Structure 1
Amino acid sequence: MKTIIKFAYFFKILQFVVGIDYDGWLNIKIEHKLNCEEDYCTRGNIALKSIRTGTSVIEQKPFTKQHIEELKEIADYDGFYTIRTLVTSAENKETEFLSSVKARAFLESGLSDVINAWVLPNGAVTVVSFQVANISRTLQYETNERYAVNSNFYLRYVDQAPVPDTTSYIQKLEREREAREKGDLKDNRSFLAKYWMYIVPIAIFVMISGATNPEPAAQASR
């Protein structure tokens, strides 16, 4: 079963066109541990031809009766259902991410989930999160004892914090130091700005002295 997921809002597309420096393909392989003879087995795949547009194609295997039974066993002891995502791109090697949800919540949602990939401006994926869709419905039973997995996938733009220009600041300090040594650096501050640390203590001292030693009141004339 193939489902093409597109961003529904124009500002999301515009955000990627403006904010992403890199564009290229991205592939996310989805794995889980249900009904597996190995550590993890394939659940599906998400493919993107362009990170900037965010258009994705999702291919997922339907759950069998064995998958559902194992999921119910995990839900009975309030356990977690875990997926592993393996992310690859033209510029980055395979990166692994793990994410879990309550098995009971996944069943109650009718095997509906949301997968988010957080992408830096250079196209690198930093996090892949997996969460249960905020709905409640029964399992969608298909022919041959198959249950459809309903997934929505979204790319999320991560805005990097500004990096301080330490090189320029150090160069500025070095130029000021050299100017002081040569005597070329003039101090254009006002008199108060230069010597306030001397003036303020004197002013405080005068105020305190005046408060503790008031002038004697003039005697009334006789």
Structure 2
Amino acid sequence: MKPHSALIFLALVPFALTIDFDGWLNIKIQHTLNCGNEQFCHRGTISLKSIRSGTAVIDQISLSKQHIEELKKLAETDSFYSIRTLVTSADNKETEFLSSVKAQAFLENGLSDVINAWILPNGAVIAVNFQVSNGSQPMLGNKNEYKINSNFYLRHIDQAPVPDTASYIQKLEREREAREKGELKDNRSFLAKYWMYIVPIAIFVMISGATNPEGAAPAAR
């Protein structure tokens, strides 16, 4: 089985403009086919010299007849073809991600899949997943070797804005100090300032009126 290489150019200009980090990225691809006593074994690698440029080199093995037979057995029971990816970069330790696709769909799609790496603006990869399209195409290769056709994409994730808790606490502290010094006037209405005292009294009056109704008819003489 000879490995083959593919150079993937990603036209993701908005991604390149918004990412805050640049560096190399390496993704090892492993699968569960024809692995002997091992749960996962080598399928290929994806290498990026620059995350900002988004240019990836994919190097994968060709599947043998034994691989295809195992895939067909999985397809017969409507089972999944499982993949593990091990991601490393200059600033992050190795991270493991698991994904899977239906074996039948992988076969029907001619051993073609799409690999997505979801990445934060700081360059950290938070997920890698595999998927196949809904199309149907023949497998490329001969009776002994079958080529895997993969497309790789970096998916940019915008981080949600973080509330400025420290500034808010400082504002509350300044207002408290101003009130203690008498520098901050309380312009609230009477009800707004003392509602916590008025409401219990009002409830008490309502309950008293319900239990001791007035205006009852006078007794007959």
In structure 2, the residue matched to 1:80 is: 80
> Does residue 7 of structure 1 match 2:6?
no
User: Structure 1: how far apart are the matches of 2:49 and 2:146?
Assistant: 28
Q: Deviations over 1:99-149 (max 9, x none)?
A: 01110000000000000000011100000011113321111123x610010
- The one-letter code of the counterpart of 1:147 is Y
> Does residue 25 of structure 1 match 2:24?
yes
How many residue pairs match? The answer is 193
Q: What SS class does the counterpart of residue 141 from structure 1 fall into?
A: coil
In structure 1, the residue matched to 2:49 is: 49
In structure 2, the residue matched to 1:172 is: 171
- The one-letter code of the counterpart of 2:176 is R
% identity of equivalent residues: 65
Q: Deviations over 1:15-51 (max 9, x none)?
A: 2232211100000000001011222110010000110
TM-score, normalisation: structure 1: 0.82
- Checking the alignment, whether the CA contact within 8 Å between 2:33 and 2:71 is kept in structure 1 is yes
Show the 5 A alignment for 1:1-222: 1-8=4-11, 12-13=12-13, 15-37=14-36, 38-142=38-142, 145-187=144-186, 189=187, 194-195=189-190
Q: What SS class does the counterpart of residue 189 from structure 2 fall into?
A: helix
Task: Give ranges in structure 2 of 5+ residues lacking alignment.
Answer: 199-221
TM-score, normalisation: structure 2: 0.82
- The one-letter code of the counterpart of 1:145 is N
Task: Give ranges in structure 1 of 5+ residues lacking alignment.
Answer: 202-222
Q: Which runs of 4+ in 1 moved over 6 A?
A: none
Q: Deviations over 1:60-118 (max 9, x none)?
A: 10100000000000000000000000000010011000001110000000000000000
* C-alpha displacement of 1:195: 3.6
- Checking the alignment, whether the CA contact within 8 Å between 2:16 and 2:54 is kept in structure 1 is no
Q: Deviations over 1:151-206 (max 9, x none)?
A: 0000000100001110010010001001001100024x4xxx624559xx9xxxxx
User: Structure 1: how far apart are the matches of 2:158 and 2:29?
Assistant: 26
Pick which of 133-142 and 49-58 moved more: 133-142
RMSD of aligned residue pairs (Cα, Å): 2.0
- The one-letter code of the counterpart of 2:161 is P
In structure 2, the residue matched to 1:217 is: none
User: Structure 2: how far apart are the matches of 1:138 and 1:195?
Assistant: 80
